A = this chain, B = another copy of it.
Amino acid sequence: MTEPARAAPEQVRTVTCVGAGVIGGGWVAYFLARGYRVVAWDPAKDAETRLRHLVGRAWPALTELGLAEGASTDNLVVERDLATACAGTDFVQESAPEDLVLKRTLLAEIDAVTPEDVVISSSTSGYGMTEMQDKCAHPERTVVGHPFNPPYLIPLVEVVGGTETAPDVVAWTAAFFRHAGKSVIVMDHEVPGFIANRLQEALWREALHMVAAGEATVEQIDLSITDGPGLRWPVHGPMLTFHLAGGQGGMARMLDHFGPSLESPWTRLQAAELTPALRDAVVEGCEREAGDRTIDDLVAERDRGVIAILRALGRA
């Protein structure tokens, strides 16, 4: 096997972001803050306006965390044409809407116009690269690099290849994200929903069941986490947290003591049916909870909170 002639992870200078919604725009802001030149493409007519709003909204947080040398929002170029956006790039991050047909087609289009040795990473939050890469002429350089909202503040990126992805592409991508300041989990095989989303999804489904059954309001669910277990999870994660629930006996004692209650009917086990009534109850609950705080207010509040937590834990 000949080694691809791609740039070393630390030599990447230009990053192309395909898709400029909440996630794509977050990536744009992040890469700009890390000092990269960023070329963005999005088919929406008002894409550039929305993207510059997103980047502008994220910039104070990124400035507070510290910009890389030479970092500037002036390093952003928005192209109208996908081929122009991908020509001469060192790395592509795709963040299109979560639609399998769309992503398969788009990845093949990106693949056709991107220099052959350049890695193409997808922000997909659930699809496996195996099911997305099959229309690509060079599927070996496609890989999942799954971020968390907002990508400019949450460190985690889950990296996993498909059956056609070359192992050295997975390794390169992990090294690139780490060099760019991310916290990377490399998965050795595809799991639907990866890791964090499966955990998050389990919690989310349970929350929907509780709202649907009238057992808890949206506000109670949020308060139960912000003032409860949510305060422990950023410190140690769920497993090590429970390691401390067993006293000096640790996880062993915890499992021996609470293990039997695993069988208790504490969780609703099916996916909740998203009826119009449930949808409305969840939407109205969020709007009630948000009160007169706009989305921008809430984003600013979240960003301040996440930065404060990262700082507080010595991880900023």
Contacts and interface: CB of A to CB of B under 8 A. Distances in A.
A222 B198 contact: no
Given A230-B233, A234-B226, A259-B279, A286 B250 contact: yes
Interface in A42-66: none
Given A235-B306, A298-B244, A229 B266 contact: no
Chain copies in complex: 2
A251 B204 contact: no
**Can you list the 8 inter-chain pairs with the closest CB atoms, starting with the nearest?**
A222-B237, A235-B305, A308-B312, A193-B266, A230-B233, A156-B228, A196-B224, A202-B206
Contact of A224 (B185, B252, B283): B185
A24 to B, nearest CB: 11
A289 B238 CA distance: 12
Interface string A202-218: 11111110100001101
Interface residues of A, number: 108
Contacts of A208: 262
A102 interface: no
A309 B234 contact: yes
A195 B222 contact: no
Given A197-B266, A202-B206, A234-B230, A239 B252 contact: no
